[in-house]
Homo-oligomer: A and B are copies of this chain.
C-alpha cells in the first residue's frame, strides 16, 4: 500500500481507476479480474496493489469519486436560480448530460446497487441527492408553484423516470440529450396528462 504519491504516482492511479471503471462497466465487476486490469494496461500486478488495497476498495473509490463529481455538476448547473421549479429542471438536464459524458458510471451504479458490499456507498449519496431535490420541491410548494404532495416521494419518482429515460434513449438509442431532457422534464412536471 502506498504512502505518498508523486505526480507520476497520481497519474498511474488515475489511469488505473479510469481503465478499471471502463472494464467493470463493459464486462461487469466480478468477471473482470485484477489480472485483466493490469494486463490490458501492460503493467505488473504489483502496481495495482501499490495503489489500491483491494479490488473491492477500488470500486468503492470509483463510486465515491463519480458521485461527488455528479453532485458538483448538479450544484453548479443550478447555480443561484431563484425559481425552485426551474432549479429542478436544471438539475435534471445537468444529470442527463453528466451521464452522457460518463456513461460507464451508469452501469457501475446499477450494479453497485445490487451488491450488498457496495450498496451502502451509493445509498448515502442517493439520500443526499433526494434530500436536495426534496428541498427544492418543498420550496416550490410553499411558493404555491406546485400542488401540495410529499416532496420526497416526488424526488424519488423524478430520479427514477430520468434514469430510465437516460438509459433507453441516451445510451441504447443515441438520441440527442436535449430531446431526452425535454421529455424527462415535461413528464416530471406534468405527467402523462400534460399541461
> Which 8 A-B pairs rank lowest in CB-CB distance, beginning with the nearest?
A147-B194, A160-B164, A30-B30, A191-B191, A111-B114, A161-B161, A157-B161, A190-B191
Chain A positions 165 through 195: 1 when the CB is less than 8 Å from some CB of chain B, otherwise 0 = 1001100000000000001101111111111
> When the two chains form their complex, are residues A164 and B157 in contact, meaning their CB atoms are under 8 A apart?
yes
A136 to chain B, nearest CB (A): 10
Chain B CB within 10 Å — which of A31, A107, A184, A191 has the most? A191
State how many copies of this chain the complex holds: 2
The answer to whether B163 touches A28 (Cβ under 8 A) is no
Interchain CB contact (< 8 A) of A157 among B113, B148, B183, B193: B183
**Interface of A, helix, strand, loop or mixed by DSSP:** helix
Q: Is the CB of A164 within 8 A of B153?
A: no
A interface residues (Cβ-Cβ under 8 A, vs B): 26-31, 88, 107, 110-111, 113-116, 137, 140, 146-150, 153-154, 156-165, 168-169, 183-184, 186-195
Q: How far is the CA of A8 from the CA of B164 in the complex (A)?
A: 42
| A183 to B150 Cα, complex, angstroms | 9
Chain B residues with Cβ below 8 Å from A194 are 146-149
In the bound complex, what is the Cα–Cα distance between A50 and B148 (angstroms)? 58
Collect the chain B residues with CB atoms within 8 Å of residue A193's CB: 146-147, 189-191, 195
Tell me the complex Cα distance, A147–B183, Å. 13
Contact A187 B111, beta carbon cutoff 8 Å:
no
Q: Are A165 and B157 in contact (CB under 8 A)?
A: yes
Interface centre among A27, A31, A186, A189 (most CB of B within 10 A): A186
